Amino acid sequence: MPTLLTVIGTRPQFIKYAALAGSGPRPYDEIVVDTGQHFDGHLSAIFLREYQLSHPHITFPPMEAVGIPRLASLLSQLDAVCEQHRPDALLCLGDTDSTLAAGLTAVKNNVPLIHIEAGERSRDRDGTRIPPASAAEESNRVTVDHLSSLLLCATERATENLRQEASTGHVTFTGDIMYDLFLRASQALPPAGDCPTLPDIPDGDYGVCTVHRAINTDDTNRLRALLDTLNSLDFPVFLPMHPRTRLRMEEANIEIPDGSLRFLPPLGHRDILVLLRGATWVFTDSGGLTREAYFSGVPSLCLDDSTAWYDLTAAGWCTITGADSTRIREALHRRPAVQPDYSQFGTGDAAQRSVEAISRFLG
């Protein structure tokens, strides 16, 4: 059987891989590599346990390096894995440095590359495409797309983006594998009171927040101002702490007084979905949580200056505020005027369609 080398390394990639792993048997052998990009083994352990996933076949040591040093380390380690296992194709997901490292490793080893969640392109508040070089995730996404032989798209807009860019790879609309997992997980969510890792959930309004992208964490003044704004809102805001955010707060000696923010340890995927079930608002710089908020019927505020999921912005479900206090407060006075259209993310069979496309590609 052909061999597929799958590269994951961050929270959203573990979640996406859980959707793929739950799609049934596959007619190929798979070697899973955890790059350790999230530099916190507790995070990966949560998702492995939660979805009863087998441990990755290969796990790199967690790393706190960022930028070029991290990329260089990932390239060196992935190159050695490719040299040892000689896969027939390499699979990457999303837009992280692990995604980019996987793409470059595939090309340098003359191995075909498959990209899940291909073709998404970020737009700012005005709907203007941002330059790829203006954000690490965008440059990763665009670079990997143009290195890929098989591009699996979560939305039809993504397929159109790739056609406009004259992509030379084979482009396929599969739907969003995160929507698959949301539907599956939502059928068996426990009451909040049965989740020992969750705090007491209020009966009234509350928000759910995540902050982890470099645009917010690498600028100390921006991070402090953003947290101060969230802490001064009129309702509780639950913030599960990402390792990067916790580290930056410690390095900058950022201390938040008692207020609206409720800091939580890293949470499992189902715990996040339980929080979303009763939430009034979501505040996030994560594209994954933006979509999960939408699937849950909860409007979100994008704490980045652009989003790859602009269709949700156009529909009024995701307001791009960045870290601007005035925009955040103004957005809380608006609610979406239209009902969610989940069909743009497929019909809940994206994982199976992805596996079928990969199987055809591997022959």
- Round to whole Å and give the CA distance between 249 and 244: 9
Secondary structure (3-state) at 140:
helix
Residues 41-68: what's their mean pLDDT? Answer: 83
192: pLDDT strictly greater than 80: yes
Percent of the chain with pLDDT over 90: 85
Report the candidate in 64, 35, 101, 94 with the shortest Cα–Cα distance to residue 244: 64
Do 3-176+346-362 and 193-344 have matching folds? Answer: yes
Residue 127 dihedral angles phi and psi, to the nearest 5°? 85, 10
Q: Which residues contact 82 (CB under 8 A, 6 or more apart)?
A: 5, 90, 105, 106, 109, 111
Name the CATH superfamily for 3-176+346-362. Glycogen Phosphorylase B; (3.40.50.2000)
The arrangement of secondary structure in 193-344, i.e. its CATH architecture, is: 3-Layer(aba) Sandwich (3.40)
Please state whether beta strands 29-34 and 3-8 pair in parallel, antiparallel, or not at all (unpaired).
parallel
Q: Residue 252 — very low, low, confident or very high, per pLDDT cuts 50/70/90?
A: very high
Instruction: Render pLDDT for 305-333 as a digit per residue (tens, 0 to 9).
Output: 999 999 999 999 999 999 999 999 999 99
Could you please report the per-residue DSSP string of 102-129?
HHHHHHHTT--EEEETTT---B-TTSPB
H/E stretch holding 83: helix 67-85
pLDDT averaged over the chain? 95
42: pLDDT strictly greater than 70: no
Residue 220: CB atoms within 10 A of its CB come to 14
241: pLDDT strictly greater than 80: yes
41: pLDDT strictly greater than 70: no
Separation of first and last alpha carbons in the chain: 9
- Round to whole Å and give the CA distance between 219 and 209: 18
Residues 99-110: what's their mean pLDDT? Answer: 98
45: pLDDT strictly greater than 80: no
- Round to whole Å and give the CA distance between 74 and 38: 13
Query: If DSSP states are collapsed to H, E and C, what string results for 236-274?
Result: CEEEECCHHHHHHHHHCCCCCCCCCEEEECCCCHHHHHH
The structural domains of the chain, with segments of one domain joined by +, span 3-176+346-362, 193-344
- Round to whole Å and give the CA distance between 219 and 238: 22
Q: Tally DSSP H helices, then E strands, for the chain.
A: 15, 13
Q: Select the more confidently predicted residue: 46 or 348.
A: 348
The reported pLDDT for the residue numbered 48 is 82
Report the candidate in 245, 243, 256, 242 with the shortest Cα–Cα distance to residue 218: 245
Residues 138-158: what's their mean pLDDT? Answer: 98
- Round to whole Å and give the CA distance between 21 and 32: 11
Report the candidate in 107, 80, 321 with the shortest Cα–Cα distance to residue 207: 321
